Amino acid sequence: TSAAGSTKLMPCREQPAAQDAAFISIQAFPALLDLPQDLEVSTVSCGSRHTAVVTRGGELYTWGWGKYGQLGHGTNASCDQARRVEHLVAKGLRVEEVVCGPWTTYVRV
């Protein structure tokens, strides 16, 4: 599976509470995902304002509102573009399943 560096990623930013909703675009219609071409998605889950996908290679990508750390990137930053959860890669963990709640993300490895 491709490294995260090959994706077109927007920088993630820490946002004060009043600006959180303004940073993440909320769309009421389907949107095309910009993931690396060689990634095959096996599972998708959506929370209230964030989304997570598991690839066939067992990697987790998340994006959306991250105020409560639900994206798993070790910060409260929000991201409009999919970003690989590097902590799981560093630990050598293969993701089998993901379920997003309103402000949480549950991962089975």
What is the tally of structural domains in the chain? 1
Q: What is the pLDDT of residue 1?
A: 37
Is 20 inside a domain boundary? no
The candidate with the shortest Cα–Cα distance to 66, out of 46, 50, 53, 84, is 50
Query: What local confidence, expressed as pLDDT, does residue 36 receive?
Result: 73
Q: Which residues pair with 83 in a beta bridge?
A: 62
Residue 22 is predicted with a pLDDT of 46
pLDDT at 23 over 90: no
Name the residue range of residue 104's domain. Answer: 41-108
Of 56 and 27, more confident: 56
Q: Which residues contact 50 (CB under 8 A, 6 or more apart)?
A: 62, 63, 64, 65, 66, 70, 71, 100, 105
Alpha-carbon span 95 to 54, nearest angstrom: 7
The pLDDT assigned to 33 comes to 72
Average pLDDT along the chain: 80
pLDDT of residue 88 exceeding 90? yes
> Do the domain assignments include residue 8?
no
Over residues 76-98, mean pLDDT: 94
